[in-house]
Amino acid sequence: MSYEMIALLMFASMMLLLATGQRVFAAIGFVASAAALLLYGPGAIELPFNQVFKLFNWYAMLTLPMFIYMGYILAEAGIAEDLYKMLHVWFGRFTGGLAVGTIFLMVIISAMNGLSVAGMAIGATIALPEMIRRGYDKVLISGVVQGGSSLGILIPPSVVLVLYGMIARQPVSKLWFAGVVPGLLMATLFIIYIVIRARMNPKLAPTVSDEELNMPLREKLALARAGIIPFAIFFFMTGLFVFGYTSLVESSAVGATAATIAAIAKGRFDWKLIRNTSMQTLGVSCMFMWLILAALAFGAVFDGLGAVKAVENLFIRQWDLSPWTVIIMMQLSFIVMGMFLDDTAMLVIVAPLYIPLVKVLDLGFDNQLIWYGVLYTITCQIAYITPPFGYNLFLMRSLAPKEITLIDIYRSIWPFAAIMVLTIALVMIFPGLALWLPEQMNVKG
């Protein structure tokens, strides 16, 4: 059997196991171990096993539980809810102000947590009921929460970019800085769209009454003080990192400690909070570690076959495809897979093939793997919200108030998906949007 057929059989076996409902890491790890044994004999079991040491030797992996813990403790302690109340007062007087404030909330939650699911949970449970109560259009606000939550895996500290950095062997610090400008650009485009829609049809997003916004100065100051806490934690943590006082891992520890102190200061740090936060952090961290281990094991066997060279030869030499055509085909495949899988599963499945291929493509600029990391994260979020089976569509339905139907959710995502596609196009046309900031920053980690 040719190496190309073996590689195809490995992928087919993996997809078959996933179709039976097996856990992603188990399916991928099993295929990797079985292929190693069948191809190279009993001694080859060391090939996937040795990836454990590679995983635990990667120092940046320590940031994962720290940032996940920071996000969960800020959410569990009610600090995110205080932040929304502050944004509600600031933006409530403007047409579409609460929707714009929700996008700001999503940006800040992203900077605290790094997971899109956390942003969606907070937006759906805190922001959606408030906007429905004030007469906002259901379709508009459903799109706002889904679009805003997509910023969670792009704006640092992005947990998904940590996963990508581990598999692609790229510096996490550069990947995070690469996500800043595209993430803020996408958030700005969301806000522009909301403002334009609200100006064209004020009934979609009415202003909040003056009676509701008028409050004593003491309450306004207390609200501002509560809302500033997430900003202070984020800027303190990233400031030390950017100016070279701490490494990446040390900054994550600073953020986790600052979040704990904030919860204590608000009088919300108790045994229940500790238990819930610890269990959630452990669950998510272990999931990511198993996925990374499975990807490394599969990649070691897959690369040993020379399958990447075979695919490169097929696309570039036999089919005579341009590098940009190959990139677009990769993005389209992510959108199709995203209807059935989450972002981490997609990356783990195709990383052994796509990442080496991107590395050898001649796109005309340096740091192609850093740039592609940003492209991958945005495309995954488009896949997440694409009907009929987008993962976030059903998550949104389970979290949203009963007034919002699945049809409302389906109708809501198209403008925001179009903005994401526009952002991808801009990043492809102007790679400097993703690469300029990492090139300017001289950071540790």
Mean pLDDT (whole number) for 185-214:
83
Residue bearing the bigger pLDDT, 262 or 46:
262
CA angle 389–329–426, rounded 5-degree value? 90
Spatial CA neighbour of 326 closest among 365, 349, 359, 277: 359
Number of C-beta neighbours around residue 320 at 10 A = 8
**For 166, left (φ over 0), alpha (ψ -120 to 50), or beta?**
alpha
Label residue 165 by pLDDT band (50, 70, 90). confident
pLDDT of res. 190? 92
User: Which tokens hold the place of 341?
Assistant: 């899988």
User: Which tokens hold the place of 122?
Assistant: 């907070």
- Each residue's pLDDT tens digit, 240-259: 877 778 887 888 888 889 88
Mean pLDDT (whole number) for 57-71:
78
pLDDT of res. 308? 62
pLDDT of res. 444? 46
Label residue 307 by pLDDT band (50, 70, 90). low
pLDDT of res. 321? 75
Task: Yes or no: say if 63 and 156 are a contact pair by the CB < 8 Å rule.
Answer: no
Spatial CA neighbour of 380 closest among 330, 315, 414: 330
Most confident of 113-127, 176-190, 212-226: 176-190
Task: Yes or no: say if 53 and 24 are a contact pair by the CB < 8 Å rule.
Answer: no
CA distance 175 to 314: 29
Mean pLDDT (whole number) for 42-55:
74
- Each residue's pLDDT tens digit, 1-11: 666 677 778 87
